[in-house]
Structure 1
């Protein structure tokens, strides 16, 4: 029942694997295997997935050079602290019954861990002890019930993959933007309504999965992600209908008068107008339509512009205009696209 495999690239190095997967072993029988194993110091990879384990036997510490451990789909209710006695670099414990209370209180005893997979468990909070794993490169926490990402996520400076899909996230902390080595960020199937502008700092990001959220807009800064080659946006209410179909409230008389002053460059100073009007006039915003010289104050028109992104995607980005007249289709203007193209954007 017990098998070893060896794969060596030269005579001086060999990687040995103990494969006990798919044998439906319980913890007692597994303990017997561990106790009777010959040369446990030679084992670097252990595959235990698809067994019936309620706990990991303490005899696992006999494998003093164990670097990779896969204990997925075993029905585990807890992870023992003794795993810290093995020099683990990869721990895969997905699809078990692990809760936050049943994780090791600290991961400081496995400081060289580079990959941690706790997907498909029963976690409700981002495990704070993970932040101790400063060597971590790959973190998979998808398919849990986690409602927020710790703001101290920035401590994982070597992180290349952060997978948080299938949770209950409602926001992404701006500190995610400090994970500048990230290649992949998986946030699909959550409840996100927006993303922080700091995502533009992820200069190495290649894959950004955002499907099945509640996103209505994207930060304009996303355009600066030049390495991005995979972007998934389907099943988001990014565009419900064109802004031209919306009902716009007319501006107040105060705003109309202020717009005339600003657009006609009429001189005013503290002696000619009251201070409160001076302050109001100084809050004007320029219309983003390059063909319009208008301004607005309180009354603005929300407009969705489709931006060509690296020649591969059409991204809907929110802009503010002074008037609904700035939205009408104009010859040669690529901002207006067909409903069919919108659906292609949303479906990724």
Structure 2
């Protein structure tokens, strides 16, 4: 297991048992394959166009066969909402809406039931809608750099979800029931003072990033995360690590 932690007592950051990860600060990057421009006929690329409005007419001009589109890339525009006509993209699996001006989660997204991956980085989203759980096919959710403070149990029924990234938000506490099949969880750069107990229930968790928070101690029960391969918790307020953490190495 990779363990990267710095305690106030030792003042030393250490990585044990394996080489340091390539990016110890952010192991769950939003730069996934779906954010790369593609010339494939099943990818609709509308990134970096400074659009303030996405109309149904414009969508029709871009593609006459929305049912063949599996990825839509709309990052780095100035969009505040999305047209309902996006539901016509009945086979859409990936949507990237990063760095737009939504503030509120676009309601049409919860009607796009074929989605497997949502990327909304830097959109100032403050909350997830109550019907977000309709997206039962989601495998990856990346909502870094927003204004989220709580998510409640919105995600608990998403039984295919394996990757959840909520870094650089405003969580001071994190009380939530998460799907136990999650393997990658990122909560770095929040305001957490206490290790979230709900994490201890994630029996399949392999990567956990809690760096750049205010956590003072890790629970002794952390050795119950028997599948954990990478724990990043640098830049917190740890004075010591529990002895049980040795059971994970």
Q: TM-score range by the shorter chain?
A: 0.7 to 0.9
Tell me: CA distance 1:162–1:133, structure 2 relative to 1, closer, same or farther (3 Å). same
Deviation at 1:105, TM superposition (A): 5.4
Residue 75 of structure 1 corresponds to 78
Query: Gapped runs of 5+ residues in structure 2?
Result: 1-35
Tell me which structure has the larger Cα radius of gyration.
1
Equivalent residues of 2:151, 2:176 under 8 A apart: no
Tell me: CA distance 1:135–1:305, structure 2 relative to 1, closer, same or farther (3 Å). closer
After TM superposition, list the pairs within 5 Å mapping 1:1-348 onto structure 2.
Answer: 43-59=41-57, 60-61=59-60, 62-64=64-66, 65-87=68-90, 88-100=92-104, 103-104=106-107, 107-108=110-111, 110-176=112-178, 179-239=179-239, 305-310=242-247, 312=249
Query: Gapped runs of 5+ residues in structure 1?
Result: 1-16, 21-41, 243-303, 313-348
CA distance in 2, matches of 1:170, 1:57: 38
Deviation at 1:200, TM superposition (A): 2.5
Which structure features the higher share of helix residues? 1
CA distance in 1, matches of 2:79, 2:97: 9
Counting matched residue pairs gives 208
Q: Which has the higher contact order (CA 8 A, sep 6+)?
A: 2
Equivalent residues of 2:220, 2:243 under 8 A apart: no
Tell me: CA distance 1:305–1:230, structure 2 relative to 1, closer, same or farther (3 Å). closer
Tell me: CA distance 1:106–1:113, structure 2 relative to 1, closer, same or farther (3 Å). closer
CA distance in 1, matches of 2:37, 2:231: 38
Cα deviation 1:300-329 (Å, max 9, x = unaligned): xxxx744443464xxxxxxxxxxxxxxxxx
CA distance in 1, matches of 2:222, 2:128: 26
CA distance in 1, matches of 2:162, 2:248: 25
Tell me: CA distance 1:114–1:171, structure 2 relative to 1, closer, same or farther (3 Å). same
Which structure features the higher share of strand residues? 1
Deviation at 1:119, TM superposition (A): 1.2
Instruction: Describe the SS at the equivalent of 2:164.
Output: strand
Deviation at 1:194, TM superposition (A): 1.7
Q: TM-score of the superposition, structure 1-length normalised?
A: 0.55
Q: TM-score of the superposition, structure 2-length normalised?
A: 0.76
Cα deviation 1:190-231 (Å, max 9, x = unaligned): 111223434222122111000111111222222111221111
